[in-house]
Protein backbone atom coordinates (compact mmCIF):
# COMPACT_ATOMS: atom_id res chain seq x y z
CA UNK A 1 0.00 0.00 0.00
CA UNK A 2 1.31 3.49 -0.81
CA UNK A 3 2.16 5.45 2.32
CA UNK A 4 0.33 8.73 1.68
CA UNK A 5 2.08 10.52 4.52
CA UNK A 6 5.44 9.63 2.99
CA UNK A 7 4.37 10.89 -0.42
CA UNK A 8 3.09 14.13 1.05
CA UNK A 9 6.33 14.65 2.95
CA UNK A 10 8.37 13.87 -0.14
CA UNK A 11 6.59 16.62 -2.01
CA UNK A 12 7.08 19.04 0.88
CA UNK A 13 10.81 18.29 1.08
CA UNK A 14 13.18 19.74 -1.48
CA UNK A 15 15.48 17.45 -3.49
CA UNK A 16 14.78 13.86 -4.53
CA UNK A 17 13.56 15.17 -7.89
CA UNK A 18 12.79 12.76 -10.73
CA UNK A 19 15.72 12.55 -13.14
CA UNK A 20 13.61 14.16 -15.89
CA UNK A 21 13.34 17.32 -13.75
CA UNK A 22 17.07 17.77 -13.31
CA UNK A 23 18.48 21.05 -14.57
CA UNK A 24 22.09 21.63 -15.58
CA UNK A 25 23.26 22.60 -12.09
CA UNK A 26 21.07 22.14 -9.01
CA UNK A 27 20.50 25.32 -7.06
CA UNK A 28 21.44 25.95 -3.42
CA UNK A 29 22.93 22.54 -2.66
CA UNK A 30 23.47 22.04 1.03
CA UNK A 31 22.06 20.77 4.30
CA UNK A 32 18.29 20.22 4.38
CA UNK A 33 17.87 18.42 7.70
CA UNK A 34 20.11 17.68 10.70
CA UNK A 35 19.69 15.06 13.39
CA UNK A 36 21.84 14.79 16.52
CA UNK A 37 22.32 11.79 18.79
CA UNK A 38 24.23 11.81 22.08
CA UNK A 39 24.34 9.17 24.83
CA UNK A 40 21.75 9.23 27.61
CA UNK A 41 24.39 9.51 30.37
CA UNK A 42 27.05 12.03 31.33
CA UNK A 43 29.66 12.78 33.97
CA UNK A 44 29.74 16.21 35.61
CA UNK A 45 33.03 18.06 34.95
CA UNK A 46 33.14 19.74 38.40
CA UNK A 47 32.79 16.32 40.03
CA UNK A 48 35.45 14.98 37.67
CA UNK A 49 37.86 17.75 38.75
CA UNK A 50 37.46 16.57 42.33
CA UNK A 51 37.76 12.90 41.42
CA UNK A 52 40.90 13.54 39.33
CA UNK A 53 42.43 15.71 42.08
CA UNK A 54 42.98 18.76 39.85
CA UNK A 55 42.31 22.36 40.99
CA UNK A 56 38.63 23.30 40.97
CA UNK A 57 37.87 25.22 37.79
CA UNK A 58 40.45 23.54 35.54
CA UNK A 59 37.91 21.64 33.42
CA UNK A 60 34.87 23.89 33.96
CA UNK A 61 36.50 27.33 33.63
CA UNK A 62 39.91 26.55 32.08
CA UNK A 63 38.49 24.28 29.35
CA UNK A 64 34.92 25.64 29.50
CA UNK A 65 33.26 22.21 29.84
CA UNK A 66 30.22 21.45 32.04
CA UNK A 67 29.36 17.83 31.23
CA UNK A 68 30.79 14.95 29.21
CA UNK A 69 28.63 12.31 27.53
CA UNK A 70 29.93 8.75 27.34
CA UNK A 71 28.83 5.33 26.10
CA UNK A 72 28.60 2.06 28.00
CA UNK A 73 29.77 -1.16 26.33
CA UNK A 74 26.27 -1.37 24.77
CA UNK A 75 27.13 1.25 22.17
CA UNK A 76 29.72 1.29 19.40
CA UNK A 77 30.22 3.35 16.24
CA UNK A 78 27.77 1.17 14.30
CA UNK A 79 24.98 1.58 16.85
CA UNK A 80 25.50 5.36 17.12
CA UNK A 81 25.20 5.71 13.33
CA UNK A 82 22.22 3.35 13.05
CA UNK A 83 20.43 5.39 15.72
CA UNK A 84 21.03 8.80 14.19
CA UNK A 85 20.23 7.70 10.62
CA UNK A 86 16.96 6.04 11.58
CA UNK A 87 16.00 9.04 13.70
CA UNK A 88 16.61 11.40 10.77
CA UNK A 89 14.65 9.23 8.34
CA UNK A 90 11.72 8.83 10.72
CA UNK A 91 11.44 12.42 11.84
CA UNK A 92 11.54 13.67 8.25
CA UNK A 93 9.15 11.02 6.97
CA UNK A 94 11.71 9.90 4.38
CA UNK A 95 11.72 6.66 2.44
CA UNK A 96 15.01 4.75 2.27
CA UNK A 97 14.77 4.59 -1.51
CA UNK A 98 14.91 8.39 -1.70
CA UNK A 99 18.63 8.23 -0.72
CA UNK A 100 21.22 7.67 -3.47
CA UNK A 101 24.39 8.32 -1.50
CA UNK A 102 25.36 7.59 2.09
CA UNK A 103 28.70 8.78 3.46
CA UNK A 104 30.14 8.14 6.91
CA UNK A 105 32.89 10.19 8.53
CA UNK A 106 34.44 8.58 11.59
CA UNK A 107 37.73 7.89 13.34
CA UNK A 108 36.24 5.21 15.60
CA UNK A 109 37.60 2.24 13.69
CA UNK A 110 36.37 -1.19 14.75
CA UNK A 111 37.19 -2.97 11.51
CA UNK A 112 40.09 -2.43 9.13
CA UNK A 113 38.03 -3.53 6.12
CA UNK A 114 34.27 -3.40 6.62
CA UNK A 115 32.80 0.08 6.59
CA UNK A 116 30.22 1.47 9.01
CA UNK A 117 28.28 2.50 5.89
CA UNK A 118 27.70 -1.14 4.94
CA UNK A 119 26.37 -1.84 8.45
CA UNK A 120 23.89 1.04 8.07
CA UNK A 121 22.71 -0.53 4.79
CA UNK A 122 20.74 -2.98 6.95
CA UNK A 123 18.26 -0.15 7.53
CA UNK A 124 17.78 0.07 3.73
CA UNK A 125 17.06 -3.65 3.22
CA UNK A 126 13.30 -3.51 3.53
CA UNK A 127 13.12 -0.77 0.89
CA UNK A 128 15.11 -2.91 -1.55
CA UNK A 129 17.37 0.08 -2.28
CA UNK A 130 20.98 -1.08 -2.67
CA UNK A 131 21.87 1.62 -5.24
CA UNK A 132 23.57 3.80 -2.63
CA UNK A 133 27.06 5.17 -3.30
CA UNK A 134 29.60 6.28 -0.69
CA UNK A 135 31.64 4.59 2.05
CA UNK A 136 33.62 5.71 5.12
CA UNK A 137 36.12 8.55 5.29
CA UNK A 138 38.75 8.91 8.00
CA UNK A 139 41.09 11.64 9.15
CA UNK A 140 40.56 12.37 12.85
CA UNK A 141 37.80 14.94 13.40
CA UNK A 142 37.80 16.02 9.71
CA UNK A 143 36.18 12.84 8.30
CA UNK A 144 32.63 14.22 8.67
CA UNK A 145 33.51 17.32 6.66
CA UNK A 146 35.20 15.25 3.93
CA UNK A 147 32.07 13.07 3.82
CA UNK A 148 29.85 16.16 3.59
CA UNK A 149 31.96 17.59 0.75
CA UNK A 150 31.67 14.24 -1.09
CA UNK A 151 27.89 14.40 -0.74
CA UNK A 152 27.61 18.02 -1.88
CA UNK A 153 29.99 17.35 -4.77
CA UNK A 154 27.88 14.33 -5.85
CA UNK A 155 24.69 16.37 -5.92
CA UNK A 156 26.47 19.02 -8.00
CA UNK A 157 28.02 16.43 -10.36
CA UNK A 158 27.07 14.61 -13.55
CA UNK A 159 26.68 11.43 -11.42
CA UNK A 160 23.69 12.79 -9.51
CA UNK A 161 20.46 10.87 -10.10
CA UNK A 162 18.10 13.27 -8.34
CA UNK A 163 18.02 11.57 -4.93
CA UNK A 164 19.18 12.84 -1.54
CA UNK A 165 22.62 12.24 -0.09
CA UNK A 166 22.91 11.34 3.57
CA UNK A 167 26.00 12.15 5.62
CA UNK A 168 26.75 10.65 9.02
CA UNK A 169 29.52 11.82 11.33
CA UNK A 170 29.94 9.75 14.47
CA UNK A 171 32.57 8.99 17.09
CA UNK A 172 33.27 7.75 20.58
CA UNK A 173 35.91 10.19 21.84
CA UNK A 174 37.75 8.63 24.74
CA UNK A 175 41.18 9.30 26.23
CA UNK A 176 43.42 7.43 28.69
CA UNK A 177 43.46 8.81 32.25
CA UNK A 178 45.28 12.12 32.46
CA UNK A 179 44.93 15.67 31.20
CA UNK A 180 43.14 14.78 27.93
CA UNK A 181 40.38 12.65 29.50
CA UNK A 182 38.01 15.58 30.31
CA UNK A 183 38.06 16.55 26.60
CA UNK A 184 36.23 13.37 25.54
CA UNK A 185 32.60 12.92 24.49
CA UNK A 186 30.50 10.80 22.12
CA UNK A 187 27.72 11.17 19.60
CA UNK A 188 26.62 11.25 15.99
CA UNK A 189 25.12 13.78 13.58
CA UNK A 190 23.24 12.89 10.38
CA UNK A 191 22.68 15.45 7.63
CA UNK A 192 20.38 15.27 4.63
CA UNK A 193 21.97 16.88 1.56
CA UNK A 194 20.21 18.07 -1.58
CA UNK A 195 19.25 21.13 -3.63
CA UNK A 196 17.08 24.08 -2.47
CA UNK A 197 18.56 23.61 1.00
CA UNK A 198 18.00 26.04 3.88
CA UNK A 199 21.80 25.93 4.50
CA UNK A 200 23.38 26.20 1.05
CA UNK A 201 27.10 25.85 0.40
CA UNK A 202 28.61 29.06 -0.99
CA UNK A 203 30.29 28.13 -4.26
CA UNK A 204 34.05 28.35 -4.49
CA UNK A 205 34.43 29.47 -0.89
CA UNK A 206 36.43 26.77 0.83
CA UNK A 207 39.79 27.58 2.40
CA UNK A 208 41.71 24.37 3.11
CA UNK A 209 45.02 23.65 4.82
CA UNK A 210 46.53 20.17 5.07
CA UNK A 211 49.90 19.30 6.58
CA UNK A 212 51.77 16.46 8.24
CA UNK A 213 52.06 16.43 12.05
CA UNK A 214 51.92 13.85 14.82
CA UNK A 215 49.68 15.95 17.08
CA UNK A 216 46.97 13.32 17.70
CA UNK A 217 46.87 9.88 16.10
CA UNK A 218 45.79 6.30 16.76
CA UNK A 219 48.64 3.94 15.86
CA UNK A 220 47.59 1.21 18.32
CA UNK A 221 44.67 -0.49 16.61
CA UNK A 222 43.81 -2.52 19.72
CA UNK A 223 43.28 0.61 21.85
CA UNK A 224 40.40 3.06 21.62
CA UNK A 225 42.73 5.79 22.88
CA UNK A 226 44.79 8.18 20.75
CA UNK A 227 48.40 9.21 21.29
CA UNK A 228 48.12 12.97 21.94
CA UNK A 229 50.57 15.83 22.09
CA UNK A 230 48.03 18.28 23.54
CA UNK A 231 50.01 21.50 23.11
CA UNK A 232 51.10 20.59 19.58
CA UNK A 233 47.47 19.81 18.67
CA UNK A 234 46.42 23.29 19.82
CA UNK A 235 49.21 24.89 17.82
CA UNK A 236 48.27 22.86 14.71
CA UNK A 237 44.59 23.82 15.18
CA UNK A 238 45.34 27.54 15.47
CA UNK A 239 47.87 27.56 12.62
CA UNK A 240 45.35 25.72 10.39
CA UNK A 241 42.73 28.32 11.31
CA UNK A 242 45.07 31.17 10.28
CA UNK A 243 45.86 29.50 6.96
CA UNK A 244 42.27 28.53 6.13
CA UNK A 245 41.00 32.04 6.91
CA UNK A 246 43.67 33.56 4.71
CA UNK A 247 42.82 31.23 1.78
CA UNK A 248 39.07 31.76 2.30
CA UNK A 249 39.49 35.55 2.26
CA UNK A 250 41.67 35.45 -0.85
CA UNK A 251 38.95 33.48 -2.64
CA UNK A 252 36.15 35.81 -1.61
CA UNK A 253 38.26 38.87 -2.49
CA UNK A 254 38.78 37.39 -5.97
CA UNK A 255 35.00 36.87 -6.31
CA UNK A 256 34.30 40.41 -5.15
CA UNK A 257 36.93 41.85 -7.49
CA UNK A 258 35.27 40.07 -10.43
CA UNK A 259 32.09 41.87 -9.34
CA UNK A 260 33.98 45.20 -9.28
CA UNK A 261 34.36 45.61 -5.51
CA UNK A 262 37.65 46.10 -3.65
CA UNK A 263 36.03 45.63 -0.22
CA UNK A 264 38.11 43.92 2.46
CA UNK A 265 36.54 40.79 4.01
CA UNK A 266 36.38 40.72 7.82
CA UNK A 267 34.57 38.90 10.63
CA UNK A 268 31.71 41.39 10.15
CA UNK A 269 30.87 39.57 6.92
CA UNK A 270 29.97 36.41 8.84
CA UNK A 271 26.56 36.40 10.54
CA UNK A 272 27.69 33.46 12.66
CA UNK A 273 30.80 31.32 13.06
CA UNK A 274 31.01 27.72 14.23
CA UNK A 275 34.19 25.80 14.94
CA UNK A 276 35.31 22.25 15.59
CA UNK A 277 35.17 22.26 19.38
CA UNK A 278 37.63 20.03 21.30
CA UNK A 279 36.59 22.16 24.31
CA UNK A 280 34.71 25.45 24.44
CA UNK A 281 37.61 27.65 25.56
CA UNK A 282 39.57 26.82 22.41
CA UNK A 283 36.63 28.02 20.31
CA UNK A 284 36.53 31.35 22.14
CA UNK A 285 40.28 31.67 21.58
CA UNK A 286 39.77 30.80 17.90
CA UNK A 287 37.36 33.67 17.34
CA UNK A 288 39.91 35.97 19.00
CA UNK A 289 42.51 34.51 16.66
CA UNK A 290 40.43 35.43 13.61
CA UNK A 291 40.19 38.97 14.94
CA UNK A 292 43.98 39.03 15.23
CA UNK A 293 44.07 37.99 11.55
CA UNK A 294 41.67 40.82 10.61
CA UNK A 295 43.78 43.29 12.58
CA UNK A 296 47.14 42.23 11.11
CA UNK A 297 45.87 42.16 7.54
CA UNK A 298 44.10 45.52 7.76
CA UNK A 299 46.15 48.15 5.88
CA UNK A 300 45.26 50.91 8.32
CA UNK A 301 43.40 49.75 11.45
CA UNK A 302 41.85 52.38 13.72
CA UNK A 303 43.19 51.70 17.22
CA UNK A 304 41.63 54.85 18.75
CA UNK A 305 38.01 53.78 18.43
CA UNK A 306 36.01 50.73 17.29
CA UNK A 307 36.81 47.02 17.65
CA UNK A 308 40.62 47.46 17.41
CA UNK A 309 40.80 50.05 20.20
CA UNK A 310 44.00 49.71 22.26
CA UNK A 311 45.50 46.99 20.04
CA UNK A 312 48.29 49.20 18.67
CA UNK A 313 51.09 47.42 20.62
CA UNK A 314 50.32 44.23 18.67
CA UNK A 315 50.62 45.75 15.20
CA UNK A 316 53.93 44.05 14.40
CA UNK A 317 53.51 40.64 16.02
CA UNK A 318 54.36 37.60 13.94
CA UNK A 319 51.33 35.21 14.04
CA UNK A 320 53.56 32.11 14.23
CA UNK A 321 55.02 33.42 17.52
CA UNK A 322 51.67 34.03 19.19
CA UNK A 323 49.91 30.64 19.53
CA UNK A 324 50.57 30.65 23.28
CA UNK A 325 51.28 34.37 23.79
CA UNK A 326 49.23 35.33 26.86
CA UNK A 327 49.21 39.08 26.13
CA UNK A 328 48.02 38.67 22.56
CA UNK A 329 45.43 36.08 23.62
CA UNK A 330 44.07 38.26 26.44
CA UNK A 331 43.89 41.44 24.35
CA UNK A 332 42.11 39.80 21.41
CA UNK A 333 39.76 37.74 23.62
CA UNK A 334 38.69 41.04 25.18
CA UNK A 335 38.38 42.78 21.81
CA UNK A 336 36.30 39.94 20.36
CA UNK A 337 34.10 39.35 23.44
CA UNK A 338 31.01 41.00 21.88
CA UNK A 339 31.48 39.16 18.62
CA UNK A 340 31.76 35.89 20.53
CA UNK A 341 28.47 36.59 22.35
CA UNK A 342 26.68 37.45 19.09
CA UNK A 343 28.17 35.05 16.58
CA UNK A 344 29.51 31.94 18.27
CA UNK A 345 28.55 31.39 21.92
CA UNK A 346 25.18 29.74 21.29
CA UNK A 347 26.85 27.20 18.98
CA UNK A 348 28.59 25.70 22.02
CA UNK A 349 25.53 24.18 23.71
CA UNK A 350 26.20 20.54 22.80
CA UNK A 351 29.96 20.96 23.08
CA UNK A 352 29.68 22.36 26.62
CA UNK A 353 27.15 19.73 27.69
CA UNK A 354 28.39 16.64 25.87
CA UNK A 355 32.06 17.30 25.07
CA UNK A 356 34.09 16.70 21.93
CA UNK A 357 32.33 14.22 19.65
CA UNK A 358 35.28 14.33 17.15
CA UNK A 359 33.81 14.20 13.59
CA UNK A 360 30.32 15.42 14.60
CA UNK A 361 31.70 18.16 16.88
CA UNK A 362 31.47 21.05 14.41
CA UNK A 363 28.08 19.82 13.15
CA UNK A 364 26.83 19.61 16.74
CA UNK A 365 27.86 23.27 16.96
CA UNK A 366 25.95 24.05 13.76
CA UNK A 367 22.88 22.25 15.14
CA UNK A 368 23.18 24.09 18.49
CA UNK A 369 23.33 27.42 16.68
CA UNK A 370 20.31 26.71 14.47
CA UNK A 371 18.32 25.31 17.41
CA UNK A 372 18.56 28.58 19.30
CA UNK A 373 17.56 30.98 16.51
CA UNK A 374 14.22 32.16 15.29
CA UNK A 375 14.11 31.62 11.52
CA UNK A 376 13.67 35.34 10.72
CA UNK A 377 16.83 36.16 12.68
CA UNK A 378 19.07 33.73 10.84
CA UNK A 379 17.51 34.03 7.35
CA UNK A 380 19.95 35.29 4.70
CA UNK A 381 22.98 35.09 7.03
CA UNK A 382 26.40 33.68 6.15
CA UNK A 383 27.64 31.01 8.58
CA UNK A 384 31.38 30.36 8.67
CA UNK A 385 32.27 26.73 9.46
CA UNK A 386 35.77 25.72 10.58
CA UNK A 387 36.52 22.02 10.60
CA UNK A 388 39.79 20.63 11.99
CA UNK A 389 41.09 17.06 12.13
CA UNK A 390 44.46 16.22 13.62
CA UNK A 391 47.26 14.89 11.56
CA UNK A 392 46.22 17.45 10.10
CA UNK A 393 43.41 18.51 7.75
CA UNK A 394 41.27 21.63 8.03
CA UNK A 395 38.79 23.70 6.01
CA UNK A 396 36.96 26.96 6.59
CA UNK A 397 33.87 27.18 4.38
CA UNK A 398 30.59 29.07 4.48
CA UNK A 399 26.91 28.28 4.31
CA UNK A 400 24.30 30.81 3.22
CA UNK A 401 20.98 30.56 5.07
CA UNK A 402 17.97 30.79 2.79
CA UNK A 403 15.97 34.06 2.85
CA UNK A 404 12.61 32.30 3.13
CA UNK A 405 11.71 31.99 6.81
CA UNK A 406 7.93 31.73 6.46
CA UNK A 407 6.10 29.16 8.61
CA UNK A 408 6.37 25.75 6.92
CA UNK A 409 9.48 26.78 4.91
CA UNK A 410 12.48 24.43 4.83
CA UNK A 411 14.28 26.78 7.23
CA UNK A 412 11.35 26.85 9.62
CA UNK A 413 11.26 23.02 9.57
CA UNK A 414 14.99 22.75 10.19
CA UNK A 415 14.87 25.12 13.17
CA UNK A 416 11.83 23.48 14.75
CA UNK A 417 13.22 19.97 14.24
CA UNK A 418 16.18 20.92 16.47
CA UNK A 419 14.18 22.76 19.12
CA UNK A 420 14.21 19.78 21.52
CA UNK A 421 18.02 19.70 21.85
CA UNK A 422 18.22 21.37 25.25
CA UNK A 423 15.37 19.31 26.71
CA UNK A 424 17.06 16.13 25.48
CA UNK A 425 20.42 17.20 26.95
CA UNK A 426 18.74 17.99 30.28
CA UNK A 427 16.95 14.64 30.37
CA UNK A 428 20.21 12.64 30.50
CA UNK A 429 21.26 10.70 33.58
CA UNK A 430 24.20 11.91 35.70
CA UNK A 431 26.73 9.18 36.51
CA UNK A 432 29.39 9.53 39.21
CA UNK A 433 33.05 9.87 38.15
CA UNK A 434 33.84 6.58 39.93
CA UNK A 435 31.25 4.68 37.85
CA UNK A 436 32.37 6.56 34.72
CA UNK A 437 35.93 5.45 35.44
CA UNK A 438 34.84 1.80 35.87
CA UNK A 439 32.94 2.08 32.61
CA UNK A 440 36.09 3.29 30.84
CA UNK A 441 38.04 0.37 32.31
CA UNK A 442 35.38 -2.06 31.06
CA UNK A 443 35.54 -0.58 27.56
CA UNK A 444 39.35 -0.85 27.61
CA UNK A 445 39.13 -4.55 28.42
CA UNK A 446 36.21 -5.55 26.22
CA UNK A 447 35.71 -3.22 23.24
CA UNK A 448 37.66 -5.48 20.86
CA UNK A 449 36.59 -8.91 22.18
CA UNK A 450 34.91 -11.70 20.23
CA UNK A 451 32.26 -13.92 21.91
CA UNK A 452 31.20 -11.02 24.12
CA UNK A 453 27.86 -10.06 25.59
CA UNK A 454 27.76 -6.40 26.68
CA UNK A 455 26.85 -5.68 30.29
CA UNK A 456 25.49 -2.09 30.17
CA UNK A 457 21.85 -1.47 31.08
CA UNK A 458 19.52 -1.24 28.10
CA UNK A 459 16.71 0.48 30.06
CA UNK A 460 18.82 3.63 30.47
CA UNK A 461 19.21 4.21 26.72
CA UNK A 462 16.98 6.81 25.06
CA UNK A 463 13.95 5.35 23.27
CA UNK A 464 14.85 4.55 19.66
CA UNK A 465 18.54 3.85 20.45
CA UNK A 466 20.27 0.97 18.69
CA UNK A 467 22.54 -1.06 20.98
CA UNK A 468 24.79 -4.07 20.76
CA UNK A 469 23.33 -7.40 21.91
CA UNK A 470 26.40 -9.57 21.33
CA UNK A 471 29.62 -10.09 19.41
CA UNK A 472 29.93 -13.65 18.13
CA UNK A 473 33.05 -15.79 17.89
CA UNK A 474 33.81 -14.36 14.44
CA UNK A 475 33.64 -10.74 15.68
CA UNK A 476 30.26 -10.23 13.99
CA UNK A 477 28.19 -7.70 15.90
CA UNK A 478 24.45 -7.92 16.48
CA UNK A 479 22.16 -5.06 17.40
CA UNK A 480 18.68 -4.35 18.67
CA UNK A 481 16.76 -1.11 18.98
CA UNK A 482 14.99 0.21 22.03
CA UNK A 483 11.40 0.86 21.01
CA UNK A 484 10.35 4.46 20.53
CA UNK A 485 7.46 4.13 22.94
CA UNK A 486 8.81 1.66 25.51
CA UNK A 487 6.66 -1.10 23.98
CA UNK A 488 9.19 -3.92 24.38
CA UNK A 489 7.25 -6.23 22.08
CA UNK A 490 8.17 -3.79 19.29
CA UNK A 491 11.93 -4.27 19.87
CA UNK A 492 13.71 -4.34 16.50
CA UNK A 493 16.71 -6.59 15.92
CA UNK A 494 19.57 -6.64 13.44
CA UNK A 495 21.57 -9.85 13.38
CA UNK A 496 24.46 -10.69 11.08
CA UNK A 497 23.55 -12.69 8.00
CA UNK A 498 26.00 -15.24 6.68
CA UNK A 499 24.38 -15.10 3.25
CA UNK A 500 23.02 -12.07 1.47
CA UNK A 501 19.61 -13.70 1.17
CA UNK A 502 19.01 -14.13 4.93
CA UNK A 503 16.26 -11.86 6.08
CA UNK A 504 17.21 -8.85 8.24
CA UNK A 505 15.61 -7.58 10.40
CA UNK A 506 13.51 -10.26 12.03
CA UNK A 507 9.97 -9.69 10.67
CA UNK A 508 8.26 -10.61 13.93
CA UNK A 509 9.97 -7.75 15.75
CA UNK A 510 10.34 -5.08 13.12
CA UNK A 511 9.39 -1.44 13.68
CA UNK A 512 7.20 0.50 11.27
CA UNK A 513 9.76 1.98 8.86
CA UNK A 514 8.17 5.37 8.24
CA UNK A 515 6.13 6.66 11.17
CA UNK A 516 3.66 9.46 10.79
CA UNK A 517 5.68 12.28 12.38
CA UNK A 518 7.14 14.76 9.87
CA UNK A 519 10.15 16.99 10.54
CA UNK A 520 9.58 19.17 13.55
CA UNK A 521 6.94 17.00 15.18
CA UNK A 522 8.18 15.77 18.53
CA UNK A 523 5.78 12.86 18.88
CA UNK A 524 7.92 10.25 17.13
CA UNK A 525 10.77 10.35 19.63
CA UNK A 526 10.02 11.76 23.03
CA UNK A 527 13.28 11.58 24.95
> How many angstroms separate the CA atoms of 446 and 477, rounded?
13
Quick check: 47 binds ligand ACO (CB under 6 A)? no
Q: Which stretch binds ligand ACO (CB under 6 A): 201-209, 229-237, 299-307, 368-376?
A: 229-237
Q: Which stretch binds ligand ACO (CB under 6 A): 58-66, 70-78, 99-107, 446-454?
A: 58-66
> How many angstroms separate the CA atoms of 139 and 142, rounded?
6
Pairing of strands 199-210, 30-37: antiparallel
State yes or no: is 202 an active-site residue.
no
Measured in Å, how far apart are the chain's first and last C-alpha atoms? 31
Residues 114-143 interacting with ligand ACO (rule: CB under 6 A):
141
| Least Cβ distance, residue 327 to ligand ACO (angstroms) | 13
Reduced to 3 states (helix: H, G, I; strand: E, B; else coil), residue 410 is helix
State yes or no: is 81 an active-site residue.
no
Reduced to 3 states (helix: H, G, I; strand: E, B; else coil), residue 459 is coil
> Using alpha carbons only, what angle is made at residue 260 by residues 258 and 261, rounded to the nearest 5 degrees?
105
| Least Cβ distance, residue 365 to ligand ACO (angstroms) | 12
Contact assessment for residue 193 and residue 166, using Cβ atoms and an 8 Å cutoff: yes
Q: CB neighbours of 123 closer than 8 A, spacing ≥ 6?
A: 82, 85, 86, 89, 96
Q: Which stretch binds ligand ACO (CB under 6 A): 53-61, 188-196, 424-432, 471-479?
A: 53-61
466-471: strand order across its sheet? 466-471, 477-481, 492-494
> How many angstroms separate the CA atoms of 199 and 404, rounded?
11
| Residue of closest CB approach to ligand ACO | 62
Report cis status (omega within 30 of 0) of the bond before 505: yes
Quick check: 513 binds ligand ACO (CB under 6 A)? no
Q: Fill in the per-residue mask, 314 to 353: x = in contact with ligand ACO (CB under 6 A), - = not in contact.
A: ----------------------------------------
Quick check: 58 binds ligand ACO (CB under 6 A)? yes
Contact assessment for residue 371 and residue 349, using Cβ atoms and an 8 Å cutoff: yes
Quick check: 228 binds ligand ACO (CB under 6 A)? yes
> How many angstroms separate the CA atoms of 82 and 116, rounded?
9
Report cis status (omega within 30 of 0) of the bond before 353: no
Question: Which one of the listed residues 141, 236, 244, 365 is annotated catalytic?
Answer: 141
Name the DSSP letter for residue 263: P
The binder of ligand ACO chosen from 36, 43, 48, 63 (CB under 6 A) = 63
Quick check: 17 binds ligand ACO (CB under 6 A)? no
Quick check: 238 binds ligand ACO (CB under 6 A)? no
| Least Cβ distance, residue 166 to ligand ACO (angstroms) | 25
| Least Cβ distance, residue 41 to ligand ACO (angstroms) | 21
Quick check: 275 binds ligand ACO (CB under 6 A)? no
Quick check: 313 binds ligand ACO (CB under 6 A)? no
Nearer to ligand ACO (CB atom), residue 175 or residue 462? 175
Q: Which stretch binds ligand ACO (CB under 6 A): 57-65, 149-157, 427-435, 480-488?
A: 57-65
Question: Which one of the listed residues 209, 276, 405, 447 is annotated catalytic?
Answer: 276
Name the DSSP letter for residue 212: -
The helix (H) or strand (E) run that includes residue 136 is: strand 136-137
Nearer to ligand ACO (CB atom), residue 234 or residue 296? 234
The binder of ligand ACO chosen from 129, 230, 420, 491 (CB under 6 A) = 230
The CA distances from residue 14 to 83, 158, 301, in Å, are 24, 19, 45
Strand ranges in 161-314 using DSSP code E only, listed in sequence order: 164-173, 185-194, 199-210, 216-217, 227-228, 272-275
The binder of ligand ACO chosen from 179, 297, 437, 446 (CB under 6 A) = 179
Quick check: 183 binds ligand ACO (CB under 6 A)? yes
Nearer to ligand ACO (CB atom), residue 98 or residue 183? 183
Provide the β-strand partners of residue 34. Answer: 191
Residues 346-375 interacting with ligand ACO (rule: CB under 6 A):
356
Nearer to ligand ACO (CB atom), residue 65 or residue 79? 65
State yes or no: is 141 an active-site residue.
yes
> Using alpha carbons only, what angle is made at residue 62 by residues 60 and 64, rounded to the nearest 5 degrees?
50
Residues binding ligand ACO (CB under 6 A): 55-58, 61-63, 141, 179-180, 183, 216, 228, 230, 233-234, 237, 278, 356, 390
* Active site (catalytic) residues: 107, 141, 276
Amino acid sequence: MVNMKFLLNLFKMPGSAPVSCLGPWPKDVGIIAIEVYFPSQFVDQAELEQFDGVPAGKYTVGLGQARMGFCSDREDINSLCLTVVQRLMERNGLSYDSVGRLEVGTETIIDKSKSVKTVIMQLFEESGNTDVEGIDTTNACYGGTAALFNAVNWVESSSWDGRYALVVAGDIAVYATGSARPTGGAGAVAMLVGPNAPLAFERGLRGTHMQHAYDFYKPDLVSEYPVVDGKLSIQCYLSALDRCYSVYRNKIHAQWQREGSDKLFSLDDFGYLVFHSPYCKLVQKSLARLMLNDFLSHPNPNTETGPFTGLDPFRDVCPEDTYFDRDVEKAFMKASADLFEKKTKCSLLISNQNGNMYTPSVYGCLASLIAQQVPSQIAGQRIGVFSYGSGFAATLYSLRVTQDHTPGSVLDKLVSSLSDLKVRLDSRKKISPAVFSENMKLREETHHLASYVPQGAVEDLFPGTWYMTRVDDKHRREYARRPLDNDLSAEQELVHSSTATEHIPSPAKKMPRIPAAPAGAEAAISN
